[in-house]
Structure 1
């Protein structure tokens, strides 16, 4: 049996679920901008992405890290989702 992992936010999540959630949140183009790998930028699909990520530990680590960052990010309406875009200044 597996032991509970209360300090592991990825425990119980499949790689497929993580990729689907990221695609739903960022879209393929946004995901490809954040993690520049071919399976996200050239004819992307869930199947090809899963195949690549399962064989490539460094890419899987980047995907998991991005997923954790999206969980921690504030979900305020209008919040910038692109890390390359500077936050807008409030009108005073």
Structure 2
């Protein structure tokens, strides 16, 4: 059994937690401007976003990338 922590910054993060964190940080409006997909722009909700993102790998990759960017910005701001 290995006790090495994962080097993947998304390890243990659910897609729901990622979307929720992005909405809290950016809000739906800015999120829809940064990632132009309908589920963020037209009647947005976490559940509709999760349905779309789970079926659309390119959109999920953009969301994960924006989440990592957000975490870096938060780390810089806390210094």
TM-score past 0.5 threshold: yes
Moved over 6 A (4+): none
Q: Quick one: higher RCO (CA 8 Å, sep 6+), 1 or 2?
A: 2
In the other structure, the counterpart of 1:28 is 28
CA RMSD of aligned residues (A): 1.8
Answering whether residue 70 of structure 2 is matched by residue 70 of structure 1, we say yes
5+ residue gaps in structure 1?
A: 77-92
Quick check: 1:13 aligned with 2:13? yes
Gaps of 5+ in 2: none
Partners of 2:66 and 2:39 lie apart in 1 by 16
Question: TM-score normalized by structure 1?
Answer: 0.76
Please identify which structure carries the higher helix content.
2
Question: Which of the pair has more CA radius of gyration?
Answer: 1
